Amino acid sequence: MKFVDLVQIQVRAGDGGSGIISFRREKFIPKGGPDGGSGGRGGSVILRANRHMTTLLDFQYRHKYTAPEGAHGEGAQRTGRSGEDIYIEVPEGTVARDTATQEIVADLLKHGDEFVVARGGRGGRGNCEFATSVDQAPRRYEQGEPGEERDLELELKLLADVGLVGLPNAGKSTLISVISAARPKIADYPFTTLVPNLGIVRVDEGKSFVVADIPGLIAGAHQGKGLGLQFLRHVERTRVLVFLLDATRASLREDLEILTNELGQYDAALLKRKSMVVITKIDALDDETLGLLKKEAFGRKKVAAISAVAGTGVRTLVEDLWLALHPREKRASRTTTNVRPARSARKTRQAALKKTKKRR
């Protein structure tokens, strides 16, 4: 399936129906009076998050969405039928932005979240609504109000707990294929990954998190080089960033500087997020070289060394990521370890008796 994460659509709510001028005319009932009904409300356009959708592909084939209009009022004080609301299903994590003002209209994070992006017009009043003691036979009515119309930009930002960021061929796709059920394309040439991939990592019974594999960055990506920054929107919602560095490259520190610089150019707030450095492909190194790499300074970031192919260090990495996402569990385990075991009730009673005898 083609991955589409940015589209533009046009939405238009239905106009309200108009009221009418009508008078009651029945046999043996003279001067029946006004009975013109009001118009119905126009239908609204509503965005709704759907967990079963993973892309905005459908919107490439349909750009305009129009809700039905409200029906006009009728005699016998009958209100016109209201137009039905239409629901536009979008993936979780979709942001709707007004194209003209670039203002964020809606941010739909969870399944079932709804937001009215174009409200239907109110129906106009019929002449029965204008009857007073002074004017008992009004010949006035109201036109229905027009429905809202706007152009929207829909942007999908994947909801993931951990984001894998690295240069091309750093081993991101291999890692996500090992720790989850995701099956991205893996090859030994640059830019194998052309779209983000999501995978669910199972840590233990009832413990899992979502990881996103972001297509490779290169120096100058913020200027449009390589794949540019078109996919970095998908790391904005991640809670932990993992910088993958290829152990076979000459300078890992320079590679890390490239990655952090490109992220900072996109959004400086990303650099303040929790992060760790993971050195991959250590199976290609001898023990001496690996020891030197681990000693290399990477600032205050936590460093892990793994081989996704051989499975070395992968389980430990998964557990470290879980603890980074749930720091309370780590603190709780430490507290439990440091607490002294409570003395038995018998020993407590014996200590109390000793104190009593001393006082005597």
- What are the C-alpha distances in Å from 219 to residues 94, 168, 224, 226, 269? 29, 11, 10, 9, 19
158 exposure class (CB count in 10 Å sphere: 0-12, 13-18, 19+): buried
Beta carbons within 8 Å of 128's beta carbon, 6+ residues apart: 22, 33, 34, 35, 36, 37, 77
Beta carbons within 8 Å of 170's beta carbon, 6+ residues apart: 216, 244, 245, 246, 280
Question: How many helical (H) and strand (E) elements, i.e. helices and strands, does the chain have?
Answer: 6, 14
Q: Are residues 90 and 237 in the same domain?
A: no
pLDDT tens string, the chain, 360 residues long: the values are 456 778 899 999 999 999 999 888 877 777 778 989 999 999 999 999 998 887 888 888 889 999 999 999 998 889 999 999 999 999 888 899 999 998 999 989 889 999 999 999 999 999 898 888 888 888 889 999 999 999 999 988 877 788 888 888 778 888 888 888 766 555 454 445 556 777 888 888 778 888 888 776 666 555 555 555 666 777 778 888 889 888 888 778 888 888 888 888 888 888 888 888 888 888 877 777 766 666 665 666 778 888 888 888 889 888 888 888 888 776 555 444 444 444 444 555 566 556 555 555
pLDDT tens digits, residue range 210-225? 888 877 666 655 555 5
Residue 47 is assigned to a structural domain of this protein:
yes
Q: Are residues 152 and 167 in the same domain?
A: no
Residue 346 is assigned to a structural domain of this protein:
no
Q: Are residues 249 and 322 in the same domain?
A: yes
Share of the chain above pLDDT 70, in %: 79
Q: Are residues 176 and 324 in the same domain?
A: yes
Domain end residue (candidates: 116, 131, 156): 156
Residue 348 is assigned to a structural domain of this protein:
no
27 exposure class (CB count in 10 Å sphere: 0-12, 13-18, 19+): exposed
Q: Are residues 172 and 77 in the same domain?
A: no
Type of residue numbered 25: R
Q: Are residues 42 and 127 in the same domain?
A: yes
Residue 332 is assigned to a structural domain of this protein:
yes
Type of residue numbered 337: T
Q: Are residues 129 and 202 in the same domain?
A: no
Residue 197 belongs to what domain range?
A: 162-338
Q: Are residues 142 and 178 in the same domain?
A: no
Residue 357 is assigned to a structural domain of this protein:
no
CA angle 102, 108, 112 (to 5 degrees): 150
Residue 285 is assigned to a structural domain of this protein:
yes
Q: Are residues 147 and 254 in the same domain?
A: no
What is the tally of structural domains in the chain? 2
Query: Distance between the two ends of the chain, CA-based, in angstroms?
Result: 87
Q: Are residues 197 and 322 in the same domain?
A: yes
**What local confidence, expressed as pLDDT, does residue 339 receive?**
41
CATH code of the domain in which 289 resides: 3.40.50.300
pTM for this model (two decimals): 0.69
Residue 174 is assigned to a structural domain of this protein:
yes
**DSSP code of residue 137:** S
Q: Are residues 122 and 271 in the same domain?
A: no
Domain end residue (candidates: 156, 185, 203): 156
Q: At 331, which helix (H) or strand (E)? A: helix 327-338
Domain end residue (candidates: 105, 132, 156): 156
Q: Are residues 13 and 145 in the same domain?
A: yes
Beta carbons within 8 Å of 202's beta carbon, 6+ residues apart: 180, 208
Residue 322 is assigned to a structural domain of this protein:
yes
**What local confidence, expressed as pLDDT, does residue 334 receive?**
47
CATH code of the domain in which 22 resides: 2.70.210.12
pLDDT tens digits, residue range 241-277? 889 888 888 778 888 888 888 888 888 888 888 888 8
